[in-house]
Amino acid sequence: MRSTDQILETLCDFLKIPSVSTDPVHTGDVRSAAEFVRAHLAGSGIAGTRLIEAEGHHPLVYGEWLGAEGKPTLLLYGHYDVQPPDPLDEWTTPPFEPAIRGENIYARGACDDKGQTLILLEAVRRLMDRDGRLPVNVRFLIEGEEEVGGEHITSLVESKPDFLKSDAAVICDTEMFAAGMPTLCVGLRGIVYGELTVTGADHDLHSGVYGGAAPNPIMAIAEILTSLKDRDGHILIPGFCDHILPPTEAELQAWRSLPFDEKEYLAKEIGASSLTGEPEFSVIERTWARPTLEVHGIRGGFIGEGAKTVIPARAVAKLSMRLVANQDPAACTRLLQAAVVEACPKGCSAEYRAIHSGAPSIVNTDNEFIAKSAEAMSEVFGRKTVFIRSGGSIPITGLFDLHLGIPSVMMGFGLPDDNLHAPNEKFHLPNLYKGIDAMVRYFELLGA
């Protein structure tokens, strides 16, 4: 059995690869990370490991072991690509030089999702090393475009190739509700992510000479944003909230029994003076079961040091909607596009272009794959497994359901303060090791 030191060294090697999928500069690094995963699988004795290529896309890593006759087949999913590391100057140690402080490892992708992907890889490695076989059949499908919308895996899954035929998917890309609390994620929000471009004059203008008569695209973006969402977090896009399916009373009751301290959440996870959002819903409902509209970045005009008195010709904002049960990404995109045009002040024109999207997903919990996962997690962590939702989006879960007809088991080992998508992302090392234990136990229970 590989020691924790060996596993940690492997994780460090994985984390050193800057596989930022959204940035063309890192295309070669993304491929290196894919090759890293493939080599790990091959080293475990997984058969037919290969990179599945598609023009203009990062490769998918595939590998299979199908020697457990009569036993279920699991589709094991993770992703080897990471978010961009900026703002770089807010990292304590560089994002691609993994650093261990206390019980945590700090690096971009430590938790999301290299650390968690490694749980799948190392669980299979341990069983193969120990037994020379697995108690269940597995197909690995590890992608490199999760952070940029997953077009490649989507088109693969949509084509339903025979080689993906499985009984359930296991996804390692979510969080525990709290440290030490084994957690299955059974619901995710959907997403539409895109760019809002606003154009005013056909060239930049001197703000002294023209200020008071010329349209200002940055101001127009401000007008549009405040038309789309009010100060209480209500989304004002006409028709947007019409078909939302609220959580059941049983779910709400279960959520209310979770150990959630709003003050601690505000202080430790958010670090702001107060929370925001729809006051008539609890924080858990707001982040798990209510849609949001967020602006992620904005650029326009002069942003250098000092002063430039210009009215810019153009401004661009990155804008997303998170969607909940029954909201359709395509329909919501059309509603947003219409609302943006409607809200644009005179003198400017506005256009919203979606970059990627994914449907919300609610997992059916009434099957042995969920039940045995919960059992394995409870055993290893010594505590009852809780069922939660997540406010994030893993579009692939909806696609596994729709096209492959299989449930997704989301076994997550991240922690709420792991700084996903932010500087100083970390992974709690005990969760890495217990995660592997839990995954091994899960395979054993399913194969018994």
| Options 67, 161, 208, 238; binder of its own copies; rule CB under 8 A | 208
# residues contacting its own copies (CB under 8 A): 102
Tokens of 324: 């909940």
Position 193 contacts its own copies (CB under 8 A) = yes
**Region of 67-75, 131-139, 280-288, 428-436 interacting with its own copies (CB under 8 A):** 280-288
* Smaller CB separation from its own copies, 189 or 434: 189
Identify each DSSP E strand in 341-422 by its residue range: 349-358, 361-362, 386-390, 408-411
Considering only residues 395-434, where is the footprint of its own copies by CB under 8 A?
416, 419-424
Shortest spacing between CB 50 and its own copies, in angstroms = 26
* Smaller CB separation from its own copies, 290 or 434: 290
What is the rounded CA–CA span in Å between residue 376 and residue 448? 12
Shortest spacing between CB 305 and its own copies, in angstroms = 6
Shortest spacing between CB 91 and its own copies, in angstroms = 11
Shortest spacing between CB 418 and its own copies, in angstroms = 9
Contacts of 126 by beta carbon, 8 Å cutoff, 6+ apart: 1, 2, 436, 440
Query: 3-class SS at 233?
Result: coil
Q: Is there a contact between 85 and 108 (Cβ–Cβ < 8 Å)?
A: yes
Binding track, positions 42-81, relative to its own copies; x by CB under 8 A? ----------------------------------------
Shortest spacing between CB 86 and its own copies, in angstroms = 7
* Smaller CB separation from its own copies, 74 or 176: 176
* Smaller CB separation from its own copies, 355 or 402: 355
Shortest spacing between CB 274 and its own copies, in angstroms = 5
Residue 51 burial by CB count (10 A; 0-12/13-18/19+): exposed, middle or buried? middle
Considering only residues 251-270, where is the footprint of its own copies by CB under 8 A?
265, 269-270
Position 94 contacts its own copies (CB under 8 A) = no
* Smaller CB separation from its own copies, 272 or 448: 272
* Smaller CB separation from its own copies, 166 or 390: 390
Total residues found in the chain within this entry: 448
**What sign has the CA pseudo-torsion 105, 110, 111, 114?**
negative
Considering only residues 133-192, where is the footprint of its own copies by CB under 8 A?
147-149, 175, 189, 191
**Region of 3-11, 47-55, 84-92, 115-123 interacting with its own copies (CB under 8 A):** 84-92
| Options 102, 271, 382, 448; binder of its own copies; rule CB under 8 A | 271
Contacts of 86 by beta carbon, 8 Å cutoff, 6+ apart: none
| Options 128, 283, 331, 371; binder of its own copies; rule CB under 8 A | 283
* Smaller CB separation from its own copies, 128 or 283: 283
Shortest spacing between CB 439 and its own copies, in angstroms = 23
Q: 120, 46, 56, 108: which is closest to 81 by C-alpha?
A: 108
DSSP-derived letter for residue 50 is E
* Smaller CB separation from its own copies, 136 or 325: 325
Binding track, positions 4-33, relative to its own copies; x by CB under 8 A? ------------------xxx---------
Angle at 173 between CA 437 and CA 386, to 5 degrees: 65
Shortest spacing between CB 200 and its own copies, in angstroms = 5
| Options 150, 215, 395, 407; binder of its own copies; rule CB under 8 A | 215
Strands 104-106 and 426-428: antiparallel
Write the single-letter amino acid at 328. Answer: D
Position 229 contacts its own copies (CB under 8 A) = yes
Binding track, positions 290-329, relative to its own copies; x by CB under 8 A? xxx-xxxxxxxxxxxxxxxxxxx--xxxx-x-x-------
Considering only residues 337-396, where is the footprint of its own copies by CB under 8 A?
345-349, 355-356, 390-393
What is the rounded CA–CA span in Å between residue 324 and residue 362? 9
Position 332 contacts its own copies (CB under 8 A) = no
Tokens of 306: 């000092």
DSSP assignments along 188-207, one per residue: E-EEEEEEEEEE-SSS-EEH
- Burial per residue of 267-285, b for 16 or more beta-carbon CB atoms within 10 angstroms, e otherwise: eeeeeeeeeebbeeebebb
* Smaller CB separation from its own copies, 129 or 262: 262
Contacts of 142 by beta carbon, 8 Å cutoff, 6+ apart: 34, 37, 60, 61, 76, 77, 78, 79, 80, 117
Write the single-letter amino acid at 433. Answer: Y
Strands 137-143 and 73-79: parallel
DSSP-derived letter for residue 247 is P
Looking at the DSSP bridge assignments, the partners of residue 194 are 319, 354
Shortest spacing between CB 84 and its own copies, in angstroms = 5
